[in-house]
Structure 1
Amino acid sequence: MTITRDNGQVIISNKTQQHLEGLGRFEEREIRWSWNFLQMFNLYFLGPNSSITQKKEIIINHINNLQDKEVHIRNLKINIENHLIPLEYLEWIEKNDNRKIIWLIHKIQSEFNLTPTISINGDPFKDFIYHLDIIPLDVNHKIFFIQNKKIEWLNIKTPDKEIKWLDETNNNQLTWAWEYLIKFYRNINIFYPPQNNMDLYNAILISLDNMSYGVPSDKKLFLDRMKKTWSQKKFRDSGKAKKPYHLPLTKNTQKQLEKLAELKNCRREQVIEQLIEKEFVLLNLDENGKPKYK
Structure 2
Amino acid sequence: MTTNLSSTDKLTKLIDDFFKEFRNESLIWVGDIWNFRRKTPSGKYLDFLNKHHNFESIVHFLKKDFSNYDQDELEDYFKECYETRIRYIPNEDLSYLKDQDRVCWFIINKIQYTYREIKEKNYKYSNPYFSLIFLLHVEFNSGRITLNNIREYFEILNKEKNPLDILSNYINDADFIDWALKYTNKKYRIRTKPDFSPKDNSDKKYIFLAYWDYQFSIDKYKYEVEINALKKAWQQKQFRDKGGLKKPYHLPLTKNTKSQLGALADMMNISEAKVLEKLIGDAYKNEMLDEKGKARY
Give the whole-Å Cα distance in 1 for the aligned partners of 2:94 and 2:161.
18
The answer on whether the counterparts of 2:104 and 2:132 sit within 8 Å (CA) in structure 1 is: yes
Distance 1:24 1:87, change over 3 A: closer
In the TM superposition, residue 92 of structure 1 has moved relative to its aligned partner by 4.6
Alignment of 1:239 with 2:243, yes or no, is yes
Give the whole-Å Cα distance in 2 for the aligned partners of 1:229 and 1:172.
14
Q: Secondary structure at the residue paired with 1:48?
A: helix
Between 147-156 and 103-112, the greater mean CA deviation after superposition: 147-156
In the TM superposition, residue 147 of structure 1 has moved relative to its aligned partner by 4.0
Q: Which amino acid aligns with 1:200?
A: K
Q: Secondary structure at the residue paired with 2:69?
A: helix
Alignment of 1:32 with 2:28, yes or no, is yes
In the TM superposition, residue 101 of structure 1 has moved relative to its aligned partner by 1.1
Q: 1:193 aligns with which of 197, 201, 217?
A: 197
Give the structure with the larger helix fraction.
2
**RCO (CA 8 Å, sep 6+): is it higher in 1 or 2?**
2
Give the whole-Å Cα distance in 1 for the aligned partners of 2:254 and 2:207.
48
Matches within 5 A, 1:114-263: 114-115=119-120, 117-118=123-124, 123-137=127-141, 142-154=146-158, 158=162, 160-168=164-172, 170-185=173-188, 187-189=190-192, 190-243=194-247
The count of aligned residue pairs is 250
Using the size of structure 2 for normalisation, the TM-score is 0.66
Q: 1:103 aligns with which of 100, 106, 109?
A: 106
In structure 1, stretches of 5+ residues that fail to align are 1-11, 246-271
Using the size of structure 1 for normalisation, the TM-score is 0.67
The answer on whether the counterparts of 2:163 and 2:227 sit within 8 Å (CA) in structure 1 is: no
Q: Which residue of 2 aligns with 1:76?
A: 81
Q: Report percent identity of matched pairs.
A: 20
Q: Deviations over 1:97-148 (max 9, x none)?
A: 22111122223333441426125xx632122222221145366854354344
Distance 1:115 1:238, change over 3 A: same
Give the whole-Å Cα distance in 2 for the aligned partners of 1:286 and 1:274.
18
In structure 2, stretches of 5+ residues that fail to align are 1-6, 49-56, 269-274, 284-297
Cα RMSD, aligned residues only: 3.9
Give the whole-Å Cα distance in 1 for the aligned partners of 2:112 and 2:92.
23
